[in-house]
Structure 1
């Protein structure tokens, strides 16, 4: 009523059921996963939800969480995506429009909801610190999930847009923990379907559907009471999915009705089918319109079974072993990884990741600290055709010996890592998910007569295994640098 928004039937149904309450008034679901085709009104849905959380729900349990501690946090793969919904809520509640109406356009004045604006304080619109703030202290902020979101804040309500874009668990792990200490917290994640790279969405969906299967097997058949089942399984996750049957053909109208609940409200199925004639890639239509999962198998460069055989949770380099650091950055420059390799006491090669963080600016200082702490003098990285090339010169200036992976080394590094894994002469600890994920989805391409790592066509970020491969190549193909010896250690000091 206040927003002047008419919701579509599927949006109303979803809000009613995803916001179901238990007898004590708290939410039935702590995490809500929504999968629906694009252009169905998900942005409008989230806008209404965020506004209701902020202006109404922030005062629901004053004895448990004060309004001034109530934070609504919106996030996505980047700030610009998260900001879309935030900006719409701001346009409806910005008190500056009431104070200085002449400074705003007629369209901006038209969408303002005065009753909401009167509850709001001056917002922060500075890039990087955007915040809608209410007189009661509640606020709505945004963050990029790739950077871990608001890692230090306790969050009451959270929205994750386009969860399919999360290719590692790093952002989700940091972000989801911000809700754990807050009474009656709730997180919504909304997206179209993903592909083999959408590991977070895929795993959450798989877990929820398995719980549904077990419920049907035990509770609906009478083998187990609902309370008993709930004591043994996590029933606080809600999955709401509109998707075409997995066998539905790409030109089957029925599949479009199944995955697009807004058909009949502004557009029709014929418009969606017409996109097929425009030359849009079939994979785009399947994932974003039909919400079908595209998980075509890949020809991975490394053998997954052999890699699993190389796992040793107690692996570590031998005391006094030659240690070499490896560095690599993803093709999109979003994440950088630092590895270390060194011989074990049994002669096998130990490898592990010792650092991973978003971006690249932190890398040189982190490598220098790791080298100084562990007495390491060597680092290996690709210095042609890769973002990591930027690290070579500053690391050399820092006094480290840089082994440059370029030319023929590009092929031999990828090939020798493949050989070591196949022959089981390499060991890793087995519990580093980003490294395991990189191995599962890393592909190679032919360059002249050899195969090299292919960052672009791999279905995951392969920088973790490339960092390991670089260090392993330097270990196997180079001699350790001669240690610097002062002349004073061999000769007497002569003072003239």
Structure 2
């Protein structure tokens, strides 16, 4: 009906995920599917969501009213959850989309679907019987009692507070199912780790509620083993342009090897020395530059930092976007140090923003302070305690609050992967020395720029000088010519 040609792993998955008990109920109430990225998880999720919405929703109509059959598709970010929903809308939505191609439209499904709703933050697709499919964030998924809950990237559930509520919401109804997709995780992916272990332990139990399907490379497989890539990428050789050779070439050229192991080989990466900021969390905050909207004239703070060996200097910027979140990005990096003065001066003259933040203690960049001031720039000199506070604030915005906007920058991403922090009093401070051979000066510059933007006030503009007093016409007491000579008059 959907005119989708399944490839072997997808067909296997649908057949076994949908196994039934003798009474017709689902054999599995919870399911975990682990497979590397770019293998078609979005299409798999869309096919399942369409089946749930148009078929499963009326299978037990005498027990569960279709109007109570709610499908929630959830992810860490709403745009990820929207992808399968958009595909289902292309199949069944009766509205004329301006995207997609002809065979995406399925007349039979369109005839049974109401107009999609996308107003006031509420997005949903509803059938004529009343069953509904809603895309939500993980946080938003906690408020619904769902007949089917489809989660993407379970590895991003870092604690049980959110997971417990989500799990309960998906198991409260008759014949319900919780389905989670993910690739491998890190030491912080506690929910995925525990769920995977539970599923493995019950694999021989005929009454187990967990279904587990995993495509992953062996834990010790190297990045030059074609068999490892085949194990984790069952779509290779089937999807256009996806080959084992291509995957290996990309991994070989990637600077972030840990991320490749997680996302392409589905290997769990455990490190003896953990980076201060988890690379996966950093990557999750990245958006396409075209989606970044910055108000015209928004205050911008520049920052500068130099690598520990004085070889390279980095210039970064921080500015607030239209949605109120700060954006940090590296503007440039070059060999040497002194060039940064003229570069920052040019940025200031072009933009009108003259604030520059830097670490003012114990690092090579301090030699720029008098030069920047002589150039007429406002210099925010940050001592080591302040830099430690700034380091902690960046960590919290990425790892806890998700309150930061980033764009993909390979050099900075590599620095995050290898970036270590040292203890400073009760805080943590970026350590260029401990992070070697990785140069984290770009991350340091972004950290100082962010702190100055959020916490420091711009230099107050000097009051303009008062206007001169108005001229007053005064008349002389003498009606005739003066008897005094200019030669004798004192001024």
Q: TM-score, normalised by structure 2?
A: 0.57
User: Which residue does 1:348 correspond to in 2?
Assistant: none
1:275 aligns with 2:274: no
Asked if 1 retains the 8 angstrom alpha-carbon contact of 2:262 and 2:269, the reply is yes
Asked if 2 retains the 8 angstrom alpha-carbon contact of 1:154 and 1:178, the reply is yes
* CA distances 1:56-87 after superposition (whole Å, capped 9, x unpaired): 11001112101111011100001111011101
User: What is the RMSD computed on CA atoms of the aligned residues?
Assistant: 3.6
User: Which residue does 1:223 correspond to in 2?
Assistant: none
Counterpart Cα distance in 1 of 2:268 and 2:34: 11
1:150 aligns with 2:123: no
1:409 positional shift: 8.8
CA separation of 1:278 and 1:126: change in aligned 2, threshold 3 A: farther
Counterpart Cα distance in 1 of 2:243 and 2:25: 38
Q: TM-score, normalised by structure 1?
A: 0.56
User: Which residue does 2:17 correspond to in 1?
Assistant: 18
User: Following superposition of structure 1 onto structure 2, how do residues 327-366 of structure 1 map, counting pairs within 5 Å?
Assistant: none
User: Following superposition of structure 1 onto structure 2, how do residues 236-247 of structure 1 map, counting pairs within 5 Å?
Assistant: 236-247=209-220
User: Which residue does 1:45 correspond to in 2?
Assistant: 44
1:63 aligns with 2:62: yes
The one of 283, 290, 295 equivalent to 2:270 is 295
1:121 aligns with 2:114: yes
CA separation of 1:269 and 1:62: change in aligned 2, threshold 3 A: same
Q: Is there any run of 5+ residues in structure 2 with no aligned partner, and where?
A: 286-323, 326-356, 359-382, 392-399, 401-418, 433-491
1:112 aligns with 2:88: no
CA separation of 1:133 and 1:255: change in aligned 2, threshold 3 A: same
Counterpart Cα distance in 2 of 1:452 and 1:96: 55
CA separation of 1:18 and 1:450: change in aligned 2, threshold 3 A: same
The one of 131, 135, 147 equivalent to 2:128 is 135
Counterpart Cα distance in 2 of 1:283 and 1:444: 15
1:256 aligns with 2:229: yes
User: Which residue does 1:285 correspond to in 2?
Assistant: 260
CA separation of 1:9 and 1:300: change in aligned 2, threshold 3 A: closer
User: Which residue does 2:421 correspond to in 1?
Assistant: 445
* CA distances 1:342-387 after superposition (whole Å, capped 9, x unpaired): xxxxxxxxxxxxxxxxxx99xxxxxxxxxxxxxxxxxxxxxx99xx
The one of 162, 168, 184 equivalent to 1:171 is 162
CA separation of 1:246 and 1:150: change in aligned 2, threshold 3 A: closer
1:210 positional shift: 2.6
1:248 positional shift: 1.0
The one of 183, 190, 194 equivalent to 1:203 is 194
CA separation of 1:167 and 1:125: change in aligned 2, threshold 3 A: same
1:451 positional shift: 6.7
1:456 positional shift: 12
Q: Greater Rg, structure 1 or structure 2? A: 2
Counterpart Cα distance in 1 of 2:150 and 2:128: 22
CA separation of 1:410 and 1:284: change in aligned 2, threshold 3 A: closer
Asked if 1 retains the 8 angstrom alpha-carbon contact of 2:71 and 2:146, the reply is yes
CA separation of 1:4 and 1:295: change in aligned 2, threshold 3 A: same
SS of 2:196's equivalent? Answer: helix
1:259 positional shift: 0.8
CA separation of 1:120 and 1:407: change in aligned 2, threshold 3 A: same
